[in-house]
Amino acid sequence: MKRHTRQIVMSAPSLGGNEEKYVLEALRSSWISSTGKFITEFEERFASFVGLRHGVATSNGTTALHLALVALGVRKGDEVIVPNLTFAATVNMVIEAGATPVLVDSLPDHWNIDPAGIRKALTPRTKAIMPVHLMGHPCRMDDIMSIAREHKLFVVEDCAEAHGASVGGTMVGAFGEVSCFSYYGNKIITTGEGGMCVTSNDALAASMRMLRDHGMDKNRRYWHEAVGYNYRMTNLNAAVGVAQMERLNDILNKRRQIGDAYRSGFEGVRGIRASFTNEGKAVDWLLPAFVDEAAAGIGRDALMEKIKEAGIDVRPMFHPLDTMPPYRALARAGNLEHSRHFGATGIMLPLHPAMELEDVAYICGSIKDIVG
């Protein structure tokens, strides 16, 4: 194995602003549970960043997805359209809500969900579409919204990887009835663990608040209006979130700078296609790159081994859902060849605000050497 002096990690949160100060403030105020000023402030600031009226903070992005689906009344007998290429939490929460997921392929030329595939997947039972803006890149929202309007379907956007991405000047998350974000440690911004449902629908927001808090009537203690959950965020996590909001634009700019360095670093590298956008303005989460084995002279898995030997953290793209045991039997709309192709040839490379441009140069240079 080659000797190397570097170890480049996939992701690291950027916590150099008021994060510590606000967490201490929350701690000293003794408001460390799920009531406190940072929760309200974080919800308001994030919702207004997306351009919507209500933010309902949750314990994580997965509970946000479940909360949104349950509040919309998605249940047994309903079908929900999800992309075949996504992180599994999206489909898991459809199943958890009791509904049936229908898997739809990626676009032929981009990893995000194909609106033509959505059309093919529609049945009288279809209740909702869940576009996932995967790897920070927006889905074809104009097409998806016209299908939803035509067929009176809910759109629940999974924005867990795409805070700040936009289409035609509208933020992702502002298209659907409700949208779900994650603030896990490796996401665009973090609260440690955390999530949020964002909507401008007053009744839906009230319903999500009620379900988030055990289904309890907010004006009548221990009176339960529905079977609910404890999906609340703590004031400590929200304290980190408020500090992250103060620096969100700086974080997005730094991520873009790193992403741009990758995109130009990979220009002309044989067999590698990195981070290309199909619609709107993307943000840079982890850096997706796809390997054309014939042109690169090396397959995806062998390339990943060599990248690791160079001291660079690397991950495979998400596995297409239909290839994994729990999802094999799910209904699918047409064939899933494009998502399988993106899944089998994709890698994710390190991207986070603390990276240096020379780290990117080292990564692109190492990969260039490997593919020859």
Please give the structure tokens belonging to residue 194.
Answer: 């955390």
Using CB under 6 A as the binding rule, whether residue 62 contacts ligand PLP is answered as: yes
Using CB under 6 A as the binding rule, whether residue 135 contacts ligand PLP is answered as: no
- Amino acid identity for residue 216 in this structure: M
User: From the CB of 6, what's the least distance to ligand PLP, in Å?
Assistant: 27
Using CB under 6 A as the binding rule, whether residue 195 contacts ligand PLP is answered as: yes
Find tokens 């940072």 and name the residue: 38
Please give the structure tokens belonging to residue 298.
Answer: 């090396």
Please give the structure tokens belonging to residue 76.
Answer: 């047994």
Closest Cα partner for 293 from 241, 347, 247? Answer: 347
Using CB under 6 A as the binding rule, whether residue 97 contacts ligand PLP is answered as: no
User: From the CB of 311, what's the least distance to ligand PLP, in Å?
Assistant: 25
Nearer to ligand PLP, 22 or 184 (CB): 184
Q: What x-and-dash track marks residues 75-94 binding ligand PLP by CB under 6 A? A: -----------xx-xx----
- Using the rule CB under 6 A, give the single segment among 28-36, 55-63, 260-268, 362-370 that binds ligand PLP: 55-63
Nearer to ligand PLP, 126 or 191 (CB): 191
Using CB under 6 A as the binding rule, whether residue 161 contacts ligand PLP is answered as: yes
DSSP letters along 17-69, please? SSHHHHHHHHHHHT--SS-SHHHHHHHHHHHHHHT-SEEEEESSHHHHHHHHH
Instruction: Tell me the pairing of strands 166-167 and 170-171.
Output: antiparallel
Q: What x-and-dash track marks residues 11-50 binding ligand PLP by CB under 6 A? A: ----------------------------------------
Q: Alpha helix (H) ranges present in 83-187? A: 89-96, 115-121, 141-151
User: From the CB of 21, what's the least distance to ligand PLP, in Å?
Assistant: 24
Closest Cα partner for 184 from 131, 137, 244, 228? Answer: 244
Using CB under 6 A as the binding rule, whether residue 160 contacts ligand PLP is answered as: yes
Bridge partners for 57 per DSSP: 196
Q: Are 163 and 248 in contact (CB under 8 A)?
A: yes
User: From the CB of 159, what's the least distance to ligand PLP, in Å?
Assistant: 8
User: Torsions phi, psi of 64, nearest 5?
Assistant: -60, -45
- Summarize as ranges the residues that interact with ligand PLP (CB under 6 A): 60-62, 86-87, 89-90, 132, 158, 160-161, 182, 184, 195
